Every structure is written in C-alpha cells, then in structure tokens.
Structure 1
Amino acid sequence: MWIITIHSKNGFKMFEFYTEKEAREKFEVIEGCKILSEVIYFNDKQLVKP
C-alpha cells in the first residue's frame, strides 16, 4: 500500500493507493508539501517467499 501525506494550512490529508504507479502519478500533480510512503505489513502473504 502506498500513502501520500500532504501538509497544508488546513492540516494534514492522507490518500491511500494500492499500486506504486497509481500513487506516483497522483504525487506528481499534487501541489504543496507532500510525502510518498510505502506501507509494508509483515503478515502480507504477497511478501512471503514459498
């Protein structure tokens, strides 16, 4: 999961995305002070090697 956090005069806003591509596309058009983060869950079955 990917998160964009935006800091503005009105406070903080957070947006969640399932794919990196989707998050990066939106990150480019958002203005202001922003942070792009990847959230990794240790129990995520996609990350476990067989």
Structure 2
Amino acid sequence: MWILTAYEENDITMFEFEEEKEARESFKNYKGTKILSHVIYFNDDIFVTS
C-alpha cells in the first residue's frame, strides 16, 4: 500500500493507493508539500518463506 500525505495551510489530506505507479504519478502531479510512504505489513507476501 502507498500513502500520499499532502499538507495545505492547516489541512492534512491522505490518499491511499494499491499500485506504486499510480502513487508516484499522483505524487508528481500534486502541488505543494507532500510525502509519499510505502506501507509494508508483516504478513505481506515479501515476508512469506516456503
């Protein structure tokens, strides 16, 4: 999951994305102060071993 956090004056807005490509495109197009975060949960597929 990807989270775009945007700050405008006294407001904070957060947008959630499943795909990295979509999140990065929105990050690039959004004007103002912003942070893009990649959220990884301990039970995500990257941690599962066979």
**Which TM class, normalised by the smaller chain length?**
0.7 to 0.9
TM-score normalised by length of structure 1: 0.87
Gaps of 5+ in 2: none
5 Å matches for 1:1-50?
1-44=1-44, 46-47=45-46, 48-50=48-50
Cα RMSD over matched residues? 1.0
1:43 deviation in Å?
1.7
**Aligned residue-pair number:** 49
Aligned-partner Cα distance in 2 for 1:24–1:49: 29
Provide the identity percentage.
57
